[in-house]
Amino acid sequence: MNNKEIVAKAIYDVVKEDLSLEAVTQLLENPKSVDHGDVAFPAFSLAKVYRKAPQQIAADLAEKIAGTDFEKIEVVGPYLNFFMNKKMVSQAVIGQIAKDKGHYGDSSIGEKGNVPIDMSSPNIAKPISMGHLRSTVIGNSIAFILEKIGYTPIRINHLGDWGTQFGKLIVGYKKWGSEEAVKTAPITELLRLYVQFHEEAETQPELEEEARAWFKKLEEGDEEATELWQWFRTESLKEFDKIYSMLEVSFDSYNGEAFYNDKMDEIVTMLEEKHLLQENEGAEIVDLSAYDLNPALIKKSDGATLYITRDLAAAVYRKRNYDFAKSIYVVGNEQSNHFKQLKAVLKELGFDWSQDMHHIPFGLITQGGKKLSTRKGKIVLLEEVLNEAVELANKQIMEKNPDLPNRDEVARQVGIGSVIFHDLKNDRLNNFDFVLEEVVRFEGETGPYVQYTHARAMSILRKADFTIDETKAYALDDKDSWEVVKLLQKFPDVVMQAAEKYEPSVIAKHAIQVAQAFNKYYAHVKILTDDEQKESRLALVYAMATIIKEDLRLLGLHAPNEM
Ligand code: ARG
């Protein structure tokens, strides 16, 4: 039970006749300052029932509420301030963590239900962008969080591997490309061919016609076209995989847009049978004015299908293949309308499960407050950013701990982790500026700071040669440890909140708070002094390290034991 639940129960026991347990719980407040205890109850709402002044009611209640759960109950005006029994709570919390270890806060709410998570999903032959990075790390963290509460996440990379641009690439490659160049630097070369195609097409418009013809061939399964397309796809994926392996993110499926080529006819037929398709200047659309949305363009006048047509087929496929409990799309905020349209069309088709589909949008990564742009050749190469982060981490570790045996590995975990942490620590819808030096700092609200706090705790435990014993009772009652205990106690609620909101920042913020509270504790209290509470203090250090490590795991970061 958390503190609110304990207090609610204690009050309820004496006001049973007049208030429900739920009503009591809803009235409870978090005091603004620790001097006012851990939970507060305003007695106003009982004034009508008891026909007495709230102050008097508060005083009466305080007298009636008994039990060992509280150190004291203070009456301040109309408020009852509850001070929890620190020893009891800390003993329960540390004991539970000692027993559950990293599984503290696990639940089975998800009942193993499948949750496909559409994440990362970059476009073939183009550089993976900062937006795709965000989708990758947010999606990965949501997968861990949902798994912790009992769901089965399925990470899907819905690659952008289809579309008219492949006609252009084939033309470009045949005219100006080289096999060698594609093999050594696929994305750079394919991007170059794409750019060159557009430049040349300005003076030679017939190129566009050629490109269309090649895409048509590709759609019809022409051998040469298919082989080239397959090759571009494979080479691009190899390049993407470098980044995925740096981030340590893996996928259960790489079924991209092309996978749905043969699955769209069925959708179009369904739309026809339900009389949902309308003709509009030769194109086929679904009217969505009832939803206050623009019409969904299903087929162009030349018969070509679109992004949304493939997403309709993908949604139906996922329902059939995974029988999902919910289906999640981690895609930038700018595609909000697309996902609204997608859900609306599915609803029109009579698929009730469309309400289980959730678009999880996120904001932009900016530089100097401005949007990063891929056009004009100014692309930010992710691989370089990640490598630089590792280098910066390495330098700092070198200064702090020059003899660290596995320094390169730790620098990797800290450097890459810092970029992930920075991405996840703010509400996902916020835009944020990316300044590498800020991201990799060991102080402030950063990943390295949290990791460093964990490593420091582990070093204390090593020094003391401490192992936790889950059969022992560890209890503390000083006010510095209390702040840490309360945060650890909150962890299961924090996980639930993060899951409900699809918001990894809730976990990241918790990790920062725990780290800060612990460092304060460490500064005020001599942990290793030999007295009767030493074991309990060490047990708290253990519990703290366990939870920080779990926080970090849920975000996709390692917690090195030494750094
Ligand atoms: N490839 C798309 C892009 O880069 C993202 C795809 C998102 N997923 C989806 N099912 N539409 O913008």
Contact 25, 8 (CB under 8 A): yes
CA 421 → CA 37, 237, 272, 310, 394, distances in Å? 33, 25, 47, 33, 17
Probe target for ligand 1 pocket from 128, 132, 158, with the most ligand atoms within 8 Å of CB: 158
DSSP result, 12-31: HHHHTTT--HHHHHHH-B--
Say yes or no to pLDDT of 63 above 50.
yes
> How do strand 114-118 and strand 152-156 relate by DSSP bridges?
parallel
* pLDDT at position 200: 95
Cα-to-chain-centroid distance, residue 476: 34
Strand partners, 117: 155, 328
Region 6-10 average pLDDT = 95
Percent of the chain with pLDDT over 90: 87
Describe the crossing of helices 534-555 and 130-148 by its angle, rounded to 10 degrees.
Answer: 130
Is any ligand 1 atom within 6 A of the Cβ of residue 160?
yes
Comma-separated ranges of CATH 3.30.1360.70 domains in the chain: 3-84
Strand partners, 455: none
Span from the CA of 183 to the centroid of ligand 1 (angstroms): 25
- Reduce the secondary structure of 347-377 to three states and give it as a string: HHCCCHHHHHEEEECCCCEEECCEECCCHHH
Q: What digits encode the pLDDT tens for the residues 155-193?
A: 999 999 998 899 999 999 999 999 999 999 898 899 999
Probe target for ligand 1 pocket from 126, 335, 336, 339, with the most ligand atoms within 8 Å of CB: 335
Q: In a 3-state reduction of DSSP, which class is residue 291?
A: helix
CA 394 → CA 406, 410, 417, 528, distances in Å? 11, 8, 13, 30
Q: How many CB atoms are located within 10 Å of the residue 239 CB?
A: 19
Say yes or no to pLDDT of 49 above 90.
no
Span from the CA of 111 to the centroid of ligand 1 (angstroms): 29
Is the dihedral angle over the CA atoms 214, 314, 330, 411 positive or is it negative? negative
Contact 148, 495 (CB under 8 A): yes
48 or 197: whose pLDDT is higher? 197
What ligand 1 atom has the least distance to the C-alpha of 159? 1
Is the dihedral angle over the CA atoms 395, 396, 399, 401 positive or is it negative? negative
How far apart CA 498 and CA 275 sit, in angstroms, is 41
Confidence of residue 379 (pLDDT cuts 50, 70, 90): low
What ligand 1 atom has the least distance to the C-alpha of 335? 12
How far apart CA 171 and CA 224 sit, in angstroms, is 12
How far apart CA 36 and CA 379 sit, in angstroms, is 53
Q: What digits encode the pLDDT tens for the residues 207-226?
A: 999 999 999 999 899 999 99
The single-letter DSSP state of residue 429 is T
Region 522-529 average pLDDT = 96
Contacts for 314 with CB less than 8 Å, ≥ 6 apart: 118, 158, 255, 257, 259, 260
Contact 238, 186 (CB under 8 A): yes
Say yes or no to pLDDT of 69 above 60.
yes
Span from the CA of 13 to the centroid of ligand 1 (angstroms): 54
Q: Which backbone phi and psi does 91 adopt, to 5 degrees?
A: -65, -40
How far apart CA 488 and CA 472 sit, in angstroms, is 19
Comma-separated ranges of CATH 1.10.730.10 domains in the chain: 396-555
Is any ligand 1 atom within 6 A of the Cβ of residue 329?
yes
Ranking 122-126, 220-224, 375-379 by mean pLDDT, the lowest is 375-379
Q: What is the CA radius of gyration of the chain?
A: 29
Span from the CA of 331 to the centroid of ligand 1 (angstroms): 7
3-84: what fold?
A: Gyrase A; domain 2 (3.30.1360)
How far apart CA 190 and CA 236 sit, in angstroms, is 9
Helix, strand, coil percentages for the chain (3-state, nearest 5): 60, 10, 30
Q: Which two tokens stand for residue 164?
A: 């008219």
* pLDDT at position 374: 52
Confidence of residue 365 (pLDDT cuts 50, 70, 90): confident
Contacts for 100 with CB less than 8 Å, ≥ 6 apart: 106
Given phi > 0 = left and psi -120 to 50 = alpha, else beta, which region is 385? alpha
Span from the CA of 121 to the centroid of ligand 1 (angstroms): 5
Span from the CA of 358 to the centroid of ligand 1 (angstroms): 14
Percent of the chain with pLDDT over 70: 98
Q: What digits encode the pLDDT tens for the residues 19-40?
A: 999 999 999 999 988 899 999 9
At the fourth CATH level, the homologous superfamily of domain 396-555 is Isoleucyl-tRNA Synthetase; Domain 1 (1.10.730.10)
Q: Calculate ∠ Cα 285-212-186, nearest 5°.
A: 110
Across the chain, mean pLDDT equals 94
How far apart CA 120 and CA 364 sit, in angstroms, is 14
Q: What digits encode the pLDDT tens for the residues 386-432?
A: 999 999 999 999 999 999 999 999 999 999 999 999 999 999 999 98
* pLDDT at position 522: 96
Confidence of residue 491 (pLDDT cuts 50, 70, 90): very high
Say yes or no to pLDDT of 545 above 60.
yes
Q: What digits encode the pLDDT tens for the residues 291-342?
A: 999 999 999 998 888 999 999 999 999 999 999 999 999 999 999 999 999 9
Say yes or no to pLDDT of 384 above 90.
no
Contact 106, 551 (CB under 8 A): no
Place of tokens 């969505």: 288
* pLDDT at position 373: 58
Is the dihedral angle over the CA atoms 137, 139, 144, 145 positive or is it negative? positive
Cα-to-chain-centroid distance, residue 370: 24
Q: What digits encode the pLDDT tens for the residues 82-117?
A: 999 999 999 999 999 999 999 999 999 999 999 999
Q: In a 3-state reduction of DSSP, which class is residue 414?
A: helix
* pLDDT at position 118: 98
* pLDDT at position 520: 96
* pLDDT at position 378: 47
| Secondary structure element (H or E) that encloses residue 40, with its range | strand 39-42
* pLDDT at position 376: 43
Say yes or no to pLDDT of 372 above 70.
no
What ligand 1 atom has the least distance to the C-alpha of 131? 4
Atom 6, ligand 1: residue with shortest CA distance: 121
How far apart CA 198 and CA 108 sit, in angstroms, is 53
